[in-house]
């Protein structure tokens, strides 16, 4: 009698398995598709050979070459001979003077001059010693003069910015993307969350080590922030300890100790109860099968 | 306890309607909290991004998370006020064998149960709540407090950094995440298996939804309470 009711129940259940599996597959397919969409490539960097179709659609597309590069014939420079055998093998090197960006982008250039990238660049060029990732960047290392598009959303710019800054500051990119700011801003396209330049400043690119400077950066969004608020660790990584101030370094140590402790606790509790449950089910199944003999 | 007849199977009332409603409130909010929370945490994956976009973006998922947290905590407050009502208005005892309070017997039961697993004895005679059910209850009640505090710390970091040093917010983030992992992996495996995977109960234990328990299950799973009720019943018939 009891088996009869059980079978009826199971029949009712199997009726739903088909549609549920189909729905699951459709959802999986859609998520796969969205995953593929999410991987957008970055714009190609400027080289000698400008792709005019892309250039025409970019922010500088209305400018004529000579407006930035100067007259070709004016200063005794000669254009490489297109008929030459090794023409396409010519080394594409960038010996463009970015000071001419200043003509239009005055405030950006001023901010850049005040910033840490410019100071580092001057010092490195004078010493002739580049850092691990090369000489400190000027305009063209971050911006593509020929292909950068205008009128893009903050989220799109921010996403690209994370890649651009991350090319040299890889650890910082990683720790930013592990933080709530990076997750919501870059991964989920939430425009109210902070991207790189929202804290470090566009073009000034300051390293936020001094507590007062940090607090100013925090206050752009968190208007009620107190000095202690500035000690919340955003780049939660032990990879570059000398880039952090003393308070954050000692805080970071405790953060990781507590994280390790809580992970241990989780593993211990789960191990005990999983073993308990698994054994108990086996025992009860055993009992039931023995009864049926 | 009322004895009711339903489809010729003898059933007994086990759960008050308020507790059944609160359990559904917990299921609903716990599931949504887990989904929205883990989607925000694992937002680096495309599928998470897609599901968050269905919910209406990061802000909407975040607010849904906060809403469910408040809803769930309201459920806990209702439960606590019910405890006060039970004790002071109904004048009933909160302690005793039927209560949720942990006792020495629970440790003994655990030991006896582990012996039983290895065929070294008989299963323990549970009262109204087994030690695992008590652990479920207390981990929920106390776990929600710490989830609430760490969650509030991340919700209002400006306020909490007036009291605590800044790195406490980072610690709160780790605690919140690991406790969420623990809660989901505990409820999803231990609580589910303990209730539904018993060979005589599978596929589903319905007593928390219907409030009723069959006589057979009552005698087998809660023999302590069953014995006491039989004694009360015989005493009543004697008088």
Lowest mean pLDDT among A8-22, A155-169, B25-39: A8-22
Burial class (CB in 10 A: 0-12, 13-18, 19+), A279: middle
Whether the predicted pLDDT of A197 surpasses 90: yes
Rg of chain B in Å (alpha carbons): 21
Neighbours of B23 (CB within 10 A): 14
Nearest in space to B15 (alpha carbons), one of B219, B218, B217, B207: B207
Q: How far apart are CA B215 and CA B225, in angstroms?
A: 12
Q: How far apart are CA B155 and CA B165, in angstroms?
A: 16
Interchain proximity B179–A228, CB inside 8 Å:
no
- Residue environment code for A187-215, b if the CB has 16+ CB neighbours within 10 A, otherwise e: bbbbbebbbbebbbbebbbbebeebeebb
Q: How far apart are CA B110 and CA A273, in angstroms?
A: 12
pLDDT per residue over B109-166, tens digit each?
A: 999 999 999 989 999 999 999 999 999 999 999 999 999 999 999 999 999 999 999 9
Q: What is the pLDDT of residue A87?
A: 65
Whether the predicted pLDDT of A38 surpasses 60: no
Nearest in space to B174 (alpha carbons), one of B200, B160, B190, B154: B154
Nearest in space to A116 (alpha carbons), one of A137, A97, A134: A137
Three-state SS at A131: strand
Q: What is the pLDDT of residue A150?
A: 86
The H-or-E segment that residue A246 falls in is helix A246-292
Q: How far apart are CA A11 and CA A8, in angstroms?
A: 5
The H-or-E segment that residue B3 falls in is strand B3-6
Q: How far apart are CA A32 and CA A22, in angstroms?
A: 15
Q: B126 versus A27: which is more confidently predicted? A: B126
Q: Write the CA distances from A108 to A55, A105, A113, A149, B208, integer angstroms.
A: 22, 5, 9, 17, 65
Q: What is the pLDDT of residue B9?
A: 78
Angle at which helices B46-55 and B17-41 pack, to 10 degrees?
130
- The partner residue sitting opposite A183, judged by closest CB among B40, B189, B199, is B40
Q: How far apart are CA A143 and CA A193, in angstroms?
A: 23
End-to-end CA distance of chain B: 18
Whether the predicted pLDDT of A14 surpasses 70: no
Average pLDDT over chain A, rounded to an integer: 83
Is the distance from CB of B100 to CB of B134 less than 8 angstroms? yes
In degrees rounded to 5, what are phi and psi of residue B5?
Answer: -105, 130
pLDDT per residue over B219-238, tens digit each?
A: 989 999 999 988 988 888 77
Mutate to test the interface with B, among A3, A30, A188, A271 (most CBs of B within 10 A): A188
A37, closest residue in chain B (CA to CA)? B46
- The partner residue sitting opposite A190, judged by closest CB among B59, B113, B164, is B59
- The partner residue sitting opposite A266, judged by closest CB among B49, B58, B178, is B178
- Provide the ipTM: 0.92
The H-or-E segment that residue B48 falls in is helix B46-55
Contacts A273 to B, Cβ<8 Å:
186, 190
Mutate to test the interface with B, among A14, A155, A273, A292 (most CBs of B within 10 A): A273
Is the distance from CB of B44 to CB of A183 less than 8 angstroms? yes
The H-or-E segment that residue B214 falls in is strand B212-214
Give the A:B interface size as CB pairs under 8 Å: 156
Q: How far apart are CA B76 and CA B82, in angstroms?
A: 10
In degrees rounded to 5, what are phi and psi of residue B144?
Answer: -65, -30
Contacts B117 to A, Cβ<8 Å:
279-280, 282-283
Contacts A187 to B, Cβ<8 Å:
43-44, 48-49
- Residue environment code for B163-172, b if the CB has 16+ CB neighbours within 10 A, otherwise e: eeebbbbbbb
DSSP for residue A149: -
Q: Give bridge partners of residue A134 from the DSSP assignment.
A: A131
Mutate to test the interface with B, among A266, A270, A279 (most CBs of B within 10 A): A266
Mean pLDDT value of segment A274-283: 94
Q: How far apart are CA B131 and CA A207, in angstroms?
A: 54
Q: B173 versus B3: which is more confidently predicted? A: B173
Mean pLDDT value of segment A198-225: 92
- Joined tokens for residue A268: 């211990």
Q: How confident is the model at residue B1 (pLDDT cuts 50, 70, 90)?
A: very low
- The partner residue sitting opposite A273, judged by closest CB among B114, B190, B200, is B190
Whether the predicted pLDDT of A3 surpasses 50: no
Q: What is the pLDDT of residue A4?
A: 44
pLDDT per residue over A82-116, tens digit each?
A: 777 766 655 544 556 677 888 899 999 999 999 99
Is the distance from CB of A150 to CB of A140 less than 8 angstroms? no
In degrees rounded to 5, what are phi and psi of residue B32?
Answer: -65, -40
DSSP for residue B23: H
Q: What is the pLDDT of residue A283?
A: 92
Which of residues 172 through 231 in chain A touch B, CB cutoff 8 A?
177, 180, 183-184, 187-190, 192-193, 222, 224-226, 228-231
Q: How far apart are CA A156 and CA B91, in angstroms?
A: 63
Contacts A252 to B, Cβ<8 Å:
167, 170
Mutate to test the interface with B, among A39, A229, A246, A268 (most CBs of B within 10 A): A229
Nearest in space to A286 (alpha carbons), one of B127, B1, B118: B118
- The partner residue sitting opposite B199, judged by closest CB among A233, A262, A285, is A285
Question: For chain A, how many residues are written?
Answer: 293
Contacts A269 to B, Cβ<8 Å:
182, 186
Whether chain B has a CB inside 8 Å of the CB on A263: the answer is yes
Q: A274 versus A84: which is more confidently predicted? A: A274
């Amino acid at each position: 009698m009891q088996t009869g009711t059980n079978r009826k129940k199971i029949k009712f259940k199997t009726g739903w398995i088909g549609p549920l599996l189909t729905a699951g597959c459709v959802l999986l397919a859609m998520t796969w598709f969205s995953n593929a969409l999410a991987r957008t490539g970055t714009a190609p960097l400027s080289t000698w050979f400008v792709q005019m179709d892309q250039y025409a659609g970019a922010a500088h597309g209305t400018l004529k070459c000579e407006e930035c590069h100067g007259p070709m014939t004016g200063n005794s420079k000669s254009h490489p001979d297109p008929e030459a055998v090794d023409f396409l093998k010519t080394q594409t090197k960038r010996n463009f003077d970015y000071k001419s960006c200043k003509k239009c982008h005055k405030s950006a250039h001023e901010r850049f001059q005040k910033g840490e990238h410019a100071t580092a660049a001057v010092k490195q060029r004078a010493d002739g010693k580049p850092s691990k990732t090369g000489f400190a960047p000027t305009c063209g290392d971050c911006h593509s003069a020929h292909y950068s598009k205008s009128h893009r959303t903050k989220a799109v710019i921010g996403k690209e910015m994370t890649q651009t800054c991350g090319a040299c500051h890889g650890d910082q990119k990683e720790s930013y993307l592990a933080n709530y700011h990076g997750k919501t801003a870059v991964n989920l396209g939430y425009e109210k969350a902070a991207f790189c330049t929202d804290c470090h400043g566009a073009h000034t690119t300051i390293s936020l080590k001094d507590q007062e400077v940090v607090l100013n950066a925090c206050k752009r969004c968190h208007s009620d922030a107190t000095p202690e608020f500035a000690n919340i660790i955003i780049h939660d990584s032990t990879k570059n300890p000398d880039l952090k101030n003393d308070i954050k370094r000692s805080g970071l140590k405790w953060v990781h100790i507590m994280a390790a402790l809580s992970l241990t606790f989780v593993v211990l509790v789960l191990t005990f109860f999983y073993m308990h449950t698994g054994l108990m089910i086996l025992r009860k199944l055993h009992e039931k099968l023995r009864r049926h003999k | 306890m009322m004895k009711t007849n339903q489809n010729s199977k003898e059933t007994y009332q086990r759960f008050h309607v308020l507790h059944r409603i609160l359990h559904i409130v917990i299921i609903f909010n716990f599931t949504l909290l887990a989904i929205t929370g883990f989607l925000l945490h694992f937002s680096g994956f495309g599928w998470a991004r897609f599901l968050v976009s269905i919910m209406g973006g990061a802000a909407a998922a975040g607010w849904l998370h906060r809403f469910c947290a408040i809803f769930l905590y309201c459920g806990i407050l209702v439960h606590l006020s019910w405890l006060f009502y039970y004790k002071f208005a109904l004048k009933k005892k909160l302690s005793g064998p039927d209560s949720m309070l942990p006792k020495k017997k629970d440790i003994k039961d655990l030991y006896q149960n582990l012996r039983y697993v290895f065929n070294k004895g008989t299963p323990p005679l549970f009262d109204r709540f087994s030690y695992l059910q008590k652990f479920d209850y207390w981990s929920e009640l106390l776990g929600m407090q710490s989830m609430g505090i760490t969650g509030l710390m991340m919700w209002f970091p400006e306020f909490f950094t007036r009291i605590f040093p800044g790195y406490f917010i980072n610690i709160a983030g780790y605690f919140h995440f690991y406790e969420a992992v623990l809660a989901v992996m505990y409820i999803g495996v231990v609580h589910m298996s303990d209730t539904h995977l018993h060979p005589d109960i599978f596929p589903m234990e319905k007593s928390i939804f219907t409030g009723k328990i069959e006589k057979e299950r009552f005698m087998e799973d809660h023999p302590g309470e069953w014995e006491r009720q039989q004694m009360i019943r015989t005493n009543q018939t004697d008088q």
